[in-house]
Structure 1
């Protein structure tokens, strides 16, 4: 990590965002789901630097009462970006109460965990398509390799500035952007399981980050856990497989 040049990479990402919008969304704004954590904070700040604050729109999406929503408020005030608050609590309840009886009242814990992330992404696209936007993906490399994200939830978007950056590298970019320390150092949590990411995983992101960049890891048991997760959920990182007819086509 010591060789990571945060300033250089930050500037490169800013230019990449400018170039991407020039090609794929000229005049559009970036729509960012604001959780108050480092990832959404860094993505929003990068977009502000690349596009200007008037072309960045934040969407806060609490599920009922959110104990840490003050972090989200702090970010939108710090960046001075337009934003809205959409409480998804009633939507989750309505959908759960509609689907669950159709499944003989079966409802898995994983379903309860992942549904809010998918509703949030649907909300972001509802906002984006209304205000001429492009949805930002806010996932980082460490989370993606561990599959610590929700497929068709926070794992998607139209452009992804952080997908090749580890957790520690994202933090370094955050400090380079001048974000408040409490947003950068906020303990990672999905806000749904009742535990932090690192508690649920059983190891610290710093261990994963070192393993990603150097291949070095001291604890064999943790290495095995990481390797198993990376392999098990590889399919989630791949394009959707499709049957190929083998027939010629002249348009891609």
Structure 2
């Protein structure tokens, strides 16, 4: 097997059809009247919303925007673009007051006056501490852990609001997690991208989600956006910031590991150092608890 773009190619019509049937089945089985999708204006939630519209119709799909005052200002623009393109109703709930009550904006990063300076400060921090790898290994002092807890709280509060909205309106809550993030722990545990009634993209690599997005007509402006987690100022591409790899290379490394290929061959095919393959493999192991949150004896 040769790792390359062809190795990740899927039959989009077949795969999207299977996912749409999955959505229809679960809306019916859960006795819900439709689907709510927390939309961020990014690739993943946009594709989920698009598939839901194809499955149950635009009148039964609702977009929920959950901004906060330190978030990426482009997120709302692209989320609105998506909702208008799909013709779905949407609602916006600003979570800033809740985060303020938790003390989120009292942390040092929030005291920096401009978004540009926040970006510089966050970049300096990330050069010393990797929230993904170091966090999973339990590294970092109390100050760092407190800071990360504030950042992660943003997506946990988003989940609470999304869950409340779904229950109040008798809707299925659709999450946007996919296989690439899942396998390396590149998500917030117990956050809005981790918990949901259904996860339509959970078995697809990000490269395949992109293929589906093109197939179902998601706007190119959204498809070409970098994978921005929208919780840490300065992080515009979480794959590069945390893994120092482009997302398509992460997908190929994960595929090679999944197929049991030798690390040397994976490194050669993907064009990365063997050490990078080993780092990704290590992440798949130490992030096990994130994919299995309710450990039991």
TM-score normalised by the chain length of structure 2: 0.76
Partner of 1:61 in structure 2?
66
* CA displacement at 1:99 relative to structure 2: 11
Matched, 1:75 2:75: no
Verify: 1:44 aligned to 2:49, yes or no. Answer: yes
Does the alignment pair 1:166 with 2:216? Answer: no
Instruction: After TM superposition, give the deviation of residue 213 of structure 1 in Å.
Output: 2.5
> 1:169 and 1:36 mapped to 2: Cα distance?
18
1:214 to 256, 275, 295: 256
CA contact (8 A) 1:17 1:50 kept: yes
Considering fraction of residues, name the structure with more helix: 2
Contact 1:210/1:217 (CA < 8 Å) preserved in 2? no
Within the candidate set 214, 225, 229, 2:279 is matched to 225
Is 2:160 the counterpart of 1:117? no
Q: Which residue, out of 173, 184, 205, partners 1:146?
A: 184
| Secondary structure of 1:189 counterpart | coil
TM-score by length of 1: 0.88
SS of alignment partner, residue 217 of structure 1: helix
**Is 1:198 equivalent to 2:205 in the alignment?**
no
Instruction: Tell me which residue corresponds to 2:11.
Output: 5
Q: Does 1:34 align with 2:34?
A: no
Structure 1 Cα separation of the partners of residues 164 and 30 of structure 2: 18
Distance 1:60 1:30 in 2: 14
Alpha-carbon distance in 2 for matches of 1:61, 1:87: 6
Corresponding residue for 1:133? 171
2:223 is matched with 184
Deviation, 1:191, is 1.4
- Structural RMSD (CA): 2.0
In the TM superposition, what is the alpha-carbon distance from 1:82 to its structure 2 partner? 1.0
Taking a change above 3 Å as real, the CA distance of residues 185 and 99 of structure 1, as seen in their structure-2 partners, is: closer
Structure 1 residues 224, 96: CA separation in 2 closer, same or farther (over 3 Å shift)? same
| CA-CA distance at 1:28 after TM superposition | 2.1
SS at match of 2:90: strand
- Give secondary structure in 2 for the equivalent of 1:31: strand
Q: 1:49 to 1:223 in 2, by over 3 A?
A: same
* Residue pair 2:289, 2:295 contacting (<8 A) in 1 also: no
User: Which string of whole-angstrom CA distances, capped at 9 and with x for unpartnered residues, describes residues 153-192 of structure 1?
Assistant: 0211000100010111000000110111111121001112
- In the alignment, the residues of structure 2 paired with residue 185 and residue 20 of structure 1 have an alpha-carbon distance, to the nearest angstrom, of 30
Alignment deviations for residues 31-69 of structure 1 (CA, whole Å, 9 cap, x no partner):
111000010000000001101111111110111164112
Counterparts of 1:57 and 1:176 in 2: how far apart (Å)? 21
8 Å contact 1:171–1:185 — kept in the other structure?
no
Indicate whether 1:156 and 2:163 are aligned: no
Shift of 1:19: 1.5
Once the two structures are TM-superposed, the CA of residue 78 in structure 1 deviates from its matched residue by 0.6
Residues 104 and 150 of structure 2 are in contact (CA less than 8 Å); yes or no, is this contact kept in structure 1?
Answer: no
Q: How many residues align?
A: 238
- 1:214 Cα shift? 3.5
- SS of equivalent residue, structure 2 residue 103: helix
